[in-house]
Structure formats: C-alpha cells, structure tokens
Structure 1
C-alpha cells in the first residue's frame, strides 16, 4: 500500500535500522523503543491484523528467530512478545513487538516506558548485535 509506513519501510523508502530481511518478513528497530533493542517484525505482504494473515506459520517462525536473536545478541534474560489487532495498533499493518527483558528492568503491566537511542550509531550497534544472531 502506498500510504502505509511499514510498507514503505519494507520497500526501503525510509531510513529504518533493519535487523533482518527475507522473503516473508522485515524486522527493524522500533524508533521509540520500550528498551534498546526493541524490534518490530512485519510481514512483507500488507495485512492489517493477525486475522488477515494467511500463512501464519512462516511469520511466527521468523518472530521466534528474531526473539532468540534479540535475547542472545543483547544478553537479555527474557523477552516480551506482543501484537495488537486494531485497538492500540499505531500503524495499520500487522507488526509484532519483540522487547528484550531483564529482571528488575522496570516494565510493569502495560505501562510501556519509552526511551531513545543516543545516536544513529548506537541504534546501528544494537541492530548489528541482533543481526549477527540471525544466521
């Protein structure tokens, strides 16, 4: 879709910091991460909700691989993996949040604090750590 931000990211039309890219998904750093290393995984085909996704298995295999890479690349003890359908969905394109977690990291319930990267270089460093685990 020409007016979809995530479709533009998939097409390489934005300055998004990518983490993983194949024929099924594009994964990239969230520009307002809950914690540094927060990744969004989107299907390359434009679908709005999980209910619209026809081939669920390959999508979630990639979400699982990205989750593993986030944890290993950032030495995170756990993860928070979530998606919204319509309500609280900031972009009308299916996306799954993969957030690195550690004990006592301050995340409580659904009150998601947001942070920023100190620089584009720092964001690229986080992306490189995660990408290196995707082989």
Structure 2
C-alpha cells in the first residue's frame, strides 16, 4: 500500500501538477494587480463610477438585484482574460515561433496520402500477402 502511494507521488505528474498550482497562484497575484491597479481604474474613468457594485441596483419588493456587480464581474473577467492573452500568451507564442524557426522546425504538418494512394498501398500489401 505504501509502495503504491510512493510510486504515485514520484511518478512525475503529481510533481508537475503541484508546481503548476504554485506557479499559477503566484501568476494570479500578478494578473490581479494589473487588473486592479490598471484596468479597473480605466474602466472607472469610462463609466465615471467608483465601483460598479453600487451601480444599477434594482429593488423589487424587498429584494435588491445588483446588476452593476454582475456587469463589473463580467468586465473584470474579460479584462483578466485580455491581460493574460495580450501580455503573456501572445508574446510567448511569438517567442516559441521564433525559436522553432531558428531550429528549423516547420509548423506545417506533412501532407497526408490521398484515399487513392492508401487504397493502392492496401492492394499492394494484400497482393504481397496472398503471393506468399
């Protein structure tokens, strides 16, 4: 039982996953600061609002619906996704493409054989097998 657990822990996938979670948490702090200190103030200037949480509150009976908070959460999500993509993902993709170009690796897949070529290969293999 202990041997199996030890193999599971040392397999590598668990270690990679643990490292990814730790790096993800640290990376999340960077993205959160960029959004909170740069993107949200810009949004506040556009909407002339301190916080969307206090905007667009609709009261029906004794219930209060905070549509501003929902809109703020959506804008925050889109802002985080945009920051991650444009600041981190896109430059990393360009870096990888440059590295692949330097190494002479092509992104284009090899041309696959046509159906006719595959049928010809199958026919030839069957003929070879039947001649034995």
Please state which band the TM-score falls in when normalised by the shorter chain: under 0.3
> What TM-score, normalized to structure 1?
0.24
Structure label with greater radius of gyration? 2
> What TM-score, normalized to structure 2?
0.25
* Higher normalized contact order (CA 8 Å, seq sep 6+, divided by chain length): 1
Structure number with higher strand proportion: 1
